[in-house]
Structure 1
């Protein structure tokens, strides 16, 4: 790819412009480009070959465009159809009903309901449910006692021993452990 023209964002003085037109005729010759800086008196001189300028320009323009898109893009939204419900909201076509399968399904549902009711009312299931409730309460108490003892030892929580003397603290922790059945 040859570099035949410069982008419009590069502003050149007339001396610089003639230097560039000379470079177009003879690209291998090195030249000096005078670029004005912020003050009027000082100028910066850059010496490089025209072909390296074209290469640098061809590499920097896509990079600058990419950075501009990345930095100035708007935040992502749900999409251009964000207010429209998806295809899953549209009901599908009504499938043909097969009487044999429909009747078989109703019979199976009736059997399942009868079996569930029979199992729930059995004496064994009632006994197991009662044991489960009792175990749940017992386990809750054990966990509560364990955390109370730990809080007393560490001096935090509801069972904190922060304001007690060392003797009172030891007696309180021993009483909690006895109550919990650890000693």
Structure 2
């Protein structure tokens, strides 16, 4: 066995060949078992004597297993020691100098906008449009209700079902619903 003090500095771990570890009857001259430092897991897998199908299966599943292991065993993110403290947004900024001209201009604009809003809210045009909107809403609600009632009568379902009626009464009932709704 090589003592750690005798290892060269350029190679952090020694390379051990299959002659030292694997018995003669299991040795494969094409592949060698290298135990030690390797830059990639696929290079390490290629150095183990395996059947080609098992080697291909391991080469595909090892990265998948490693990814799943990282996802399942990773610790959830924890808040740091500053998580309970207020952030920089809670610190008031410096007091900016007040310019009288800009302050007066801002106040005048605010008054002007408030007057415009009040005038618009009390305008007869807005009142007329709001009233028309309410009427249209009721009319549209009734049209939708009539449409579903006609459909229910034709299909034999719902409140307007004509299921228990004779075929002549059913046709008369559906015609009456269509006439009431203004559908042809």
Task: Give the TM interval when normalised to the shorter protein.
Answer: 0.5 to 0.7
The equivalent of 1:135 in structure 2 is 136
The residue correspondences of 1:1-183 to structure 2 (distance < 5 A) are 4-5=15-16, 20-21=19-20, 31-33=24-26, 48-49=28-29, 51-54=31-34, 58-59=44-45, 63=63, 65-74=66-75, 76=76, 79-81=78-80, 84=84, 87=87, 90-96=90-96, 97-183=98-184
The equivalent of 1:15 in structure 2 is none
User: For the residues of structure 2 that align with 1:101 and 1:137, how far apart are their CA atoms?
Assistant: 49
Give the TM-score taking structure 2 as reference length.
0.60
Contact kept? 2:152, 2:159, Cα under 8 Å: yes
Contact kept? 2:16, 2:33, Cα under 8 Å: no
Task: Name the one with the larger strand percent.
Answer: 1
Unaligned runs of 5+ in 2: 1-10, 35-40, 46-57
| Deviation readout 1:119-158 (Å, 9 max, x if unpaired) | 2222222222212211121111112211221222223333
Contact kept? 1:31, 1:49, Cα under 8 Å: no
CA RMSD of aligned residues (A): 3.9
Following superposition, the deviation at residue 109 of structure 1 comes to: 1.6
The equivalent of 2:48 in structure 1 is none
Contact kept? 1:152, 1:173, Cα under 8 Å: yes
User: Which has the higher mean CA deviation after the structures are superposed, 65-74 or 163-172?
Assistant: 65-74
Matched residue SS, 1:116: helix
User: For the residues of structure 2 that align with 1:154 and 1:173, how far apart are their CA atoms?
Assistant: 11
Structure-2 change in CA distance of 1:171 and 1:71 (3 Å):
same
Unaligned runs of 5+ in 1: 7-18, 24-29, 34-46
Provide the aligned length of Structure 1 versus Structure 2.
150
Give the TM-score taking structure 1 as reference length.
0.60
